[in-house]
A and B are shown apart, each in its own frame.
Chain A
């Protein structure tokens, strides 16, 4: 199936799946950090490779990008993106440090953030899999800190089969830490075949 063939009914179904996934992911993250996490309604995005910088509605900040593969009855990627300065604050919360303490990412900080990605992604995939009747297994995450544009472009060009279009189901999430608001994005990028399998499982193909 080509991305152009996707109709509103398909897009709505994918949003619904993502909604179930991200709802559970938010609950898991919320339990991990002891704060209420809010998720926005997921959006399905299909862009030409040239327009990738517009995939995430921000300038080109330095962000932490954590990429996870998933396998099983459907394959694809999850990309978790958190602006770097907000990821530092998240590490402070995770490691019970005074807010503002974390400035550099070393082994401890990186592994805490990977753990966050692991928990968020596992609950997202678990809920999505349960809804679809799929078994979905996440890989070990890989983390990098860099310009947002470099990260998202590379994820599509290097790791997806369809290199000329970018497809994702994107969920923005946020929570507040005292007066600071932390936010991030969780992208679910199914492989083309997985996209078909998901739609078939919902009787839409």
Chain B
């Protein structure tokens, strides 16, 4: 069974499920895995943080979304200390139009994901981020591996 995570959305599951998400450009996917319980989740967020107070969907934002995913994993019985994180996406497309590359949304999204995971004390075990190309991924819950696919670079397992 395959679950699809849309933009500004998340999903959790248990082995032997597969969770997938498509079309990560500047967006970032945070993948959490609990190797003991063989369960995990994927968040596909769009922006680092809120620009105004009330918006309807907190999963658009890395700052809120990563924490919501962690809470969801805890609700499923995972201990925070057992969680391992992987980060995918955050590319900079049409780079010639970006004045300050370090402040491109993709870069900011990746930094925000790292920052929140660090604050929450979750170890980042792998990353496939940056570059100028889009990515899609399949997350296999029976062993935690993430297959990252891109038109520009083909497939890569992290």
Given A142-B96, A146-B151, A146-B152, decide whether A151 and B60 contact each other with a Cβ distance below 8 A. no
Highest count of chain B CB atoms <10 Å: which of A139, A140, A149, A154 = A154
Q: Please determine whether B134 and A150 come into contact, CB atoms closer than 8 angstroms.
A: yes
B interface, CB within 8 angstroms of A: 6-9, 22-27, 46-47, 51, 55, 57, 60, 91-98, 104-106, 132-136, 150-152
Q: Contact at A153–B6, with CB atoms within 8 Å? A: no
Q: Convert A23-46 into 0s and 1s, putting 1 for each residue whose CB lies closer than 8 angstroms to a CB of B.
A: 000000000000000000000000
CA distance A10 to B24 in the complex (A): 33
- Give Cα distance in the complex from A56 to B93, angstroms: 19
A146–B133 contact, CB under 8 A? yes
A–B Cβ pairs within 8 angstroms, 8 of them: A146-B93, A146-B151, A150-B24, A150-B134, A154-B94, A157-B27, A158-B25, A158-B104
Residues from chain A with Cβ under 8 Å of B51 in the complex: 163-164
Q: How far is B96's CA from A140's CA once the two chains are assembled, in angstroms? A: 10
Q: Which of B7, B23, B27, B151 gathers the greatest number of chain A CB atoms within 10 Å?
A: B23
CA distance A142 to B95 in the complex (A): 8
Complexed CA–CA distance, A159 and B106 (Å):
12
From 126 to 158 in chain A, residues with beta carbon under 8 angstroms from any chain B beta carbon are: 139-140, 142, 144-151, 153-155, 157-158
> Would you call A49 and B7 a contact (CB within 8 A)?
yes
Tell me the complex Cα distance, A148–B7, Å: 13
Asked if A164 contacts B55 (CB within 8 A), the reply is yes
Smallest CB gap from A153: residue in B: B25
Assess whether B94 is in contact with A62, with CB atoms less than 8 Å apart. Answer: no
Give every chain B residue within 8 A of A153 (Cβ-Cβ): 7, 23, 25-27, 46
B133 → A minimal CB distance (Å): 6
Is A50 positioned at the interface, with any CB of B under 8 Å from its CB? yes
Query: A53 — which chain B residues lie within 8 A by C-beta?
Result: 6-7, 23
Contact of B98 with A158 in the complex, beta carbons under 8 Å: yes
Interface of B is mostly: loop
Number of A residues whose C-beta is below 8 Å from B?
27
**B25 CB to nearest chain A CB (Å):** 3
Q: Which residue of A lies closest to B59 (CB)?
A: A50
> With A147-B22, A153-B7, A157-B26 in contact, do A142 and B94 touch (Cβ < 8 Å)?
yes
| Inter-chain contacts of A157 with B (CB < 8 A) | 25-27, 46-47, 105
User: Is A11 in contact with chain B by the CB < 8 A criterion?
Assistant: no
B93 & A158 in contact (Cβ 8 Å cutoff): yes
Q: For B151, give its contact among A140, A147, A159 (CB under 8 Å).
A: A147
- Nearest CB of chain B from residue A192's CB, rounded to whole Å: 14
Which residues of chain B come closer than 8 Å to A151, judged between CB atoms? Answer: 25, 93, 134
- Write the chain B residue with the least CB distance to A148: B23
**How many angstroms between the C-alpha atoms of A155 and B95 in the bound complex?**
11
A67 CB within 8 Å of chain B: yes
